[in-house]
Structure 1
């Protein structure tokens, strides 16, 4: 049975208490943009990158491969682009309210991103987010090389982060929430006590029964047993 959190009478997802940890995807979930597409705008490759992103988020492409392919198009872009993109980022409606509600109930908030630490880290700091994981772009002589550094935040890494953060807080998995929009968020949403597909791709909605199809994260506050801060 599918539960739509944006409909009147949406069910309570926690019958007692509130979640101890909420983890969300970043691009098209916590924020309205896809950061790699904003970077690609500067490189003049936005259309190509957007097409690859769409196919990856719908589960048609291997995420790590698709990320490397997209990042390769950014070669030669000056690293000043990070500040420009960060300034243009728009948090999704209700994002700040959800974060504040989780904190008001004594919980913690984390984000896992297939995007980039150079943007995600300052974004997390500005929103008061407790944990983050994201990819890193290689920069040499002030320009992007078109390569990713270190581990790529795949669907499995997102699951590992959820588990690790919950364990570090002493929060049982049953008291965790994962929210995302893409195919690479499905394992994390299935691993959490409650998984919420947020304005998700069709392939994701088919596999996640709790859905929020209106772009307002604050609509998840009451069903999660939280109160507006």
Structure 2
């Protein structure tokens, strides 16, 4: 029986990429989107791509970034699947290579139990173009899940993961069930299940 389900955030629970949406205000969204696309396909080192993308939103007012992050659009079925899993007694956690300014308010709206992501550095109310946090590297999700698994004394078969990109591969290796959701080919190869319909309620049929 599944006891823990870990979700990626951007393009999994949230419809799009937070960093790309933030960069629109500065006219950098095409450049950021291209870097993101290559990183999620496994063509670029995740850490290097993250640092490069965050540098492109330097100068954005923090208040503007927070306003955008509080009003992100979720994937169809996001709230429903979290509610369903929690009703089954399954803990729900988000691992995001994105940012707490997005995953924290989303936690209040969707109801997942815990989230790990990164912090956008700011000074005097302005983003500095620097970032730090728990999910900075391509293998961060796998390492964090290994820690959680040990702390909660869970077996691989008691864990499910849902994601879409290359930086989700490491957490799939720590779980018995890996669900590639509208995902890049690199993650589909590591998955036990594949969903190509953009509706998270499809997960119910697997779990």
- Equivalent of residue 132 in structure 2, options 149, 153, 161: 149
- 2:191 aligns with 208
- Tell me which stretches of 4 or more aligned residues in structure 1 moved more than 6 Å: none
- 2:8 aligns with 25
Give 1:28 deviation, angstroms: 0.3
Q: Distance in 1 between matches of 2:186 and 2:152?
A: 32
Give 1:150 deviation, angstroms: 4.1
Conserved in 2, the CA contact under 8 Å of 1:19 and 1:102?
no
Q: Distance in 2 between matches of 1:172 and 1:100?
A: 23
Give 1:163 deviation, angstroms: 2.5
Give 1:49 deviation, angstroms: 0.2
- 1:136 aligns with 119
Q: Which runs of 5+ in 2 are unaligned?
A: none
Give 1:43 deviation, angstroms: 1.8
Please list the CA deviations of residues 193-221 of structure 1 after superposition, one character each: whole Å capped at 9, or x if unmatched. Answer: 10011000123223324101101111111
> What RMSD over aligned residues (CA atoms) do the two structures have, in Å?
1.5
Q: What secondary structure sits across from 1:134 in the alignment? A: strand
Q: What secondary structure sits across from 2:50 in the alignment? A: helix
- 1:81 aligns with 64
- 1:182 aligns with 165
Q: Distance in 2 between matches of 1:72 and 1:195?
A: 32
How many residue pairs get aligned? The number is 207
Counterparts of residues 1-229 of structure 1 (less than 5 Å): 18-224=1-207
Conserved in 1, the CA contact under 8 Å of 2:70 and 2:102?
no
Q: Distance in 2 between matches of 1:168 and 1:42?
A: 41
Of structures 1 and 2, the one scoring higher in RCO (CA 8 A, sep 6+) is 1
Conserved in 2, the CA contact under 8 Å of 1:82 and 1:119?
no
Conserved in 2, the CA contact under 8 Å of 1:186 and 1:204?
yes
With over 3 angstroms needed to count, the CA separation of the structure-2 counterparts of 1:41 and 1:137, relative to structure 1, is: same
Q: TM-score, structure 1 length as denominator?
A: 0.85
Please list the CA deviations of residues 141-177 of structure 1 after superposition, one character each: whole Å capped at 9, or x if unmatched. Answer: 1000001134543232211222233333333222000
Q: TM-score, structure 2 length as denominator?
A: 0.94
